[in-house]
Structure 1
Amino acid sequence: MLPNQVHAQTPTPARDSSAVAVKAASAAAVSPVVGVWKGPLPIPGGSLPIQLEVGQVGPNKLVSTLDLPAKRLNRIPISLTFRGDTLVFYAPKADSRFVCLLSADGQELVGQWTQPGLRVPVTLRRNVPAGAVVSGPTVVVKATTYHTEPVTLASQPGSVKLAGTLSIPDGAGPFPAVVLLSDMGAQDRDTRQGSYHLFADMASFLARQGIAVLRLDDRGVGESTGSVPLTTTADLVRDAQAALTYLRLRPSLDPARTGFIGHGEGGNVALLAAAQPLPPAFVATLAASGLVGLELLANQAEPITSPADTARVGTARRAAWAEVLRKAEQLRNSGSNAAQVETYVAQQRLKIKSAERKELEAMLKFRRSMFEIIRQTPNDDQAQAIVVNMLHQRYPSMDPGAARARAVQLTTPWYRYYLKFDPQPGLADVQCPVLLLNGTSDAEVNAAANLAALEKGLRANKRVTVRRLPAINHWFQTPASEQIAATDGTVDPVVYPVMLDVVRDWVLQQAGK
């Protein structure tokens, strides 16, 4: 490290490392770089607006974020390093660096922006004075540091151990708090999907905004005891209630401002818990279901039977389209005019789409039939034998072991419970504030159908907020087209920043009441 390079707050395992707090060059009460800085980023063919926000969270402690509105990237945590009079902002996720100087009048950051394939001069002008940074029309957001603690609690009956992590903002409190409730399947406390960690990212973001967050390993996952296939949605409701009680007993947290944020099935678990005695202060759902369990599962894609099956489907589609193009070329060569060729291609495209639609309808009918048989056949051995036979008829090349494993999975207590699950009956008893948030490109939980059903069930509750996020999938990932690619051209999945902002603002609004 250079002698005049100062980093504030040496990171510890319990600290947030995604938004690096740094020491200012002087011990002044408010650093001269605190504020919002905006300007154009020159790119080939035009420019993109960018914004840097620098906040001060304590004596000589700064945090900073980067916004690229045109790319719908908001509040990307970035590091800020001082090298004498030079400021260096660095965003690891975007692999971007801004090296600059503060102008003599303190109103501009003048320097050079670099990222893979781009090196340009940039000038950002102070947009909001220091100390006057406000986010949203009604919510004042104060960035802070936070620490984490390991948590172990018991869920009854059976004294099942649930292990997880509690992220708590630094300070005296009492703070509002949330329990994150995961989607169906075996999820750890971070809800890891490859390199994508939805709950870990949510916990980091919310804790920096003054909201404590508890996230837990599911039963039978990580450090939690119990069994995933033996766990039902009713068990998950008891787990959620145990987690809520734990937070309400923490002295630094406000029991009157403690609620749930549930993803997928976790959203339904949160709503079920909210219909019980001692409900949460609020519930935010991310892609919760409004349909009965059998219908929701039937409308989801059947798990891939094998890579070979996937390859065959893709090959068949490409071959069909190649044949259309070949015949179109034959028509051109035989003297057909452009309009005739275009008409032919359009007709064939409609035929292919019609065939795909019929295939989807056949799949839906097959899955409904299979699930209905399971629901009406209580004996596992009998149900599994029927399911194996149905799978072999539908997928002749399916491995017998895979068919058997699928049949066993479909007759576990969780599946049997969920196939009969209807989210509607308990919704009328939910009286706390509710946020319903869904992505319009969710292939697992159709936003239109499920939001309509949830809104209908919650119609007696006058404190329901509904938001649809265009082009966002079930995991609330920022579309790849709106991200900056890495040097090798790849794009890692990143949580959609607009979703984070919506959830944060809504929770703080409830906490402020």
Structure 2
Amino acid sequence: MMRLLVLVLLSLGWTGSAFGQPLSGVWHGRLEAGSTDLRMELELLAQDEGLQASLISLDQGGARIPASAAERDGTRLRLTFNSIAARYEAEVMQTRLSGVFVQGGREFDLEFVRGRFDGERAPGAVMDRPGDDVFVDGAVRLAGTLLRPDTPGAAPGVVLLNGSGSQDRDSTVAGQPGFALLAEALAAEGIVTIRMDDRGVGQSDPVPPDSPSDLARDAAHALTFLRGRPGVDPACTGFVGHSEGALIAFLAAGQHSDPAFIVSLAGMTGRLQDILVEQGEALNRAMGATEQQIEANRVMQEAVFATIENAAPGEAGQEIERTMLANGVAAQVAAQQARIWGQTYVVEHFKLEPRAAFARYEGSVLAYYAEHDLQILPGPNRRRLEAAREGLPTRIEILPGLNHLFQESETGLPAEYATRGHAMAPTARETISQGVAAWARQACD
């Protein structure tokens, strides 16, 4: 569910400098992972409680996620990222950090030098059909791309909804612009699409959401905008959502809009706390953790989640930090995690009962899951959707051999995302685009 391999915010447990040279400031470097070349910036800030740092992938939406641990031994630096099963080990020098980024059993050279990259952040994917830049004005202003097919007359339309995390309009994860390619495939099927930069990304307003309902309202405004475009048939216009974006589609349908149909791609169907427990166990097991380690992680998760659910308004962060300290977590790590899990958006997400949204929507639903998905497990998520949609028009398919991004996959681990060589498997793109087109035309009929 959480979009992994969006590289990470670090809170480092050390201060100081190498050879008397302060580390505070901005560093930049390139991570070359197979055919993928990612521009990275590392922002370091020395504070009384330690050195704070943010590792930013300019080509992956600039999301920041806390690392789990950091160590320095003399001039050696070691950073560990449990959430993406990776680490960075480097030699700290006067003018550069020279090291390797390790993930999924593979090592990639990664060297940082001082200063930022010149110029703008990475543009969207280069496409055969670039589309039109548009703005959706609602509670916030969202920038997007409207892509039309080369067909006469009014066409069906879809709003593409990103999954969790800060992502651009192409739903770029690990350098892979999945929605850009899907939009092209849908245009070839005669479907108009709009896809948008998330809040705080690209040209969209930098206003963070306080709850999933805020994102549902954004989705509803986008649907209204699309229905009002020339050449769009408003009677057969709906949502296509990936991961959390699928849940947002159902929330929008139940409270803010009336889509003609919903297509769910690896859509989360359980409460956030349930999804995270399932995801944690699956990822840890795939990475070779022992059953004892998996159980210990689950116990910690459940303790933190119970704290979030029971905390008084505005006090979740403090209570989470106390819970983690009581369970033996280092003070700095506990403070980092409390800042993440204590956010208003997370607290509000924990209050959601998705089943009600699925049952409330009476329109037609097409859902695709991926056999090797370790973030949204196909088995439990399919069963929950089937139970909630009983008696309502619903079709569910599990596509074989694919991961959470619908790429061809061997393990399903997020380490694969940047190394597959494609944003979406050609067979998956064809299946999904044809399925969306059939669902949209059914709504027209």
| TM bracket (short chain) | 0.5 to 0.7
Q: Indicate whether 1:151 and 2:134 are aligned.
A: yes
TM-score by length of 2: 0.64
Shift of 1:502: 2.2
Q: Which of these residues, 484, 496, 499, is aligned with residue 425 of structure 2?
A: 496
How many Å separate the matches in 1 of 2:257 and 2:422?
37
Shift of 1:225: 0.9
- Which structure is richer in relative contact order (CA contacts within 8 A, separation 6 or more)? 2
Output aligned runs, 1:206-245, within 5 Å. Answer: 206-228=186-208, 230-245=209-224
How many Å separate the matches in 2 of 1:215 and 1:204?
11
Q: Indicate whether 1:468 and 2:362 are aligned.
A: no
Checking the alignment, whether the CA contact within 8 Å between 2:210 and 2:348 is kept in structure 1 is no
Unaligned runs of 5+ in 1: 1-144, 305-309, 318-352, 482-489
Checking the alignment, whether the CA contact within 8 Å between 2:366 and 2:439 is kept in structure 1 is no
How many Å separate the matches in 1 of 2:302 and 2:279?
11
Give the match's secondary structure for 2:304. Answer: helix
Shift of 1:390: 4.0
Checking the alignment, whether the CA contact within 8 Å between 1:219 and 1:231 is kept in structure 2 is no
CA distance 1:375–1:226, change in 2 (3 Å): farther
TM-superposition CA deviations, 1:444-463 (whole Å, max 9, x none): 111111110111111121x2
Shift of 1:494: 3.3
Identity %: 31
Output aligned runs, 1:175-190, within 5 Å. Answer: 175-190=155-170
Give the letter aligned to residue 426 of structure 2.
Answer: P
Checking the alignment, whether the CA contact within 8 Å between 2:158 and 2:191 is kept in structure 1 is yes
CA distance 1:480–1:301, change in 2 (3 Å): closer
Shift of 1:370: 0.5
Q: Which of these residues, 145, 170, 175, is aligned with residue 195 of structure 1?
A: 175
TM-score by length of 1: 0.56
How many Å separate the matches in 1 of 2:151 and 2:381?
40
Shift of 1:401: 4.2
Q: Which of these residues, 431, 434, 443, is aligned with residue 374 of structure 2?
A: 443
How many Å separate the matches in 1 of 2:439 and 2:136?
26
Checking the alignment, whether the CA contact within 8 Å between 2:242 and 2:265 is kept in structure 1 is yes
Checking the alignment, whether the CA contact within 8 Å between 1:478 and 1:494 is kept in structure 2 is no
Output aligned runs, 1:218-367, within 5 Å. Answer: 218-228=198-208, 230-276=209-255, 278-301=257-280, 356-367=290-301
Shift of 1:168: 1.0
Counterpart in the other structure of 2:141: 161
How many Å separate the matches in 1 of 2:410 and 2:293?
29
Counterpart in the other structure of 1:384: 317
Q: Indicate whether 1:478 and 2:411 are aligned.
A: no
Give the letter aligned to residue 430 of structure 1.
Answer: Y
Q: Indicate whether 1:426 and 2:405 are aligned.
A: no
* Pair member with larger Rg: 1
In the alignment of these two chains, the number of paired residues is: 307
How many Å separate the matches in 1 of 2:378 and 2:147?
30
Checking the alignment, whether the CA contact within 8 Å between 2:408 and 2:420 is kept in structure 1 is no
Q: Which of these residues, 370, 392, 402, is aligned with residue 304 of structure 2?
A: 370
Shift of 1:380: 3.8
Shift of 1:428: 2.2
Counterpart in the other structure of 2:435: 506
Counterpart in the other structure of 2:42: none
Shift of 1:395: 6.5
Counterpart in the other structure of 2:343: 412
Shift of 1:402: 4.3
Checking the alignment, whether the CA contact within 8 Å between 2:250 and 2:358 is kept in structure 1 is yes
Give the match's secondary structure for 2:294. Answer: helix
Checking the alignment, whether the CA contact within 8 Å between 1:147 and 1:168 is kept in structure 2 is no
How many Å separate the matches in 1 of 2:420 and 2:436?
30
Give the match's secondary structure for 1:443. Answer: coil
Give the letter aligned to residue 321 of structure 2.
Answer: V
How many Å separate the matches in 1 of 2:280 and 2:235?
41
Checking the alignment, whether the CA contact within 8 Å between 1:284 and 1:503 is kept in structure 2 is no
How many Å separate the matches in 2 of 1:285 and 1:418?
19
Shift of 1:278: 4.5
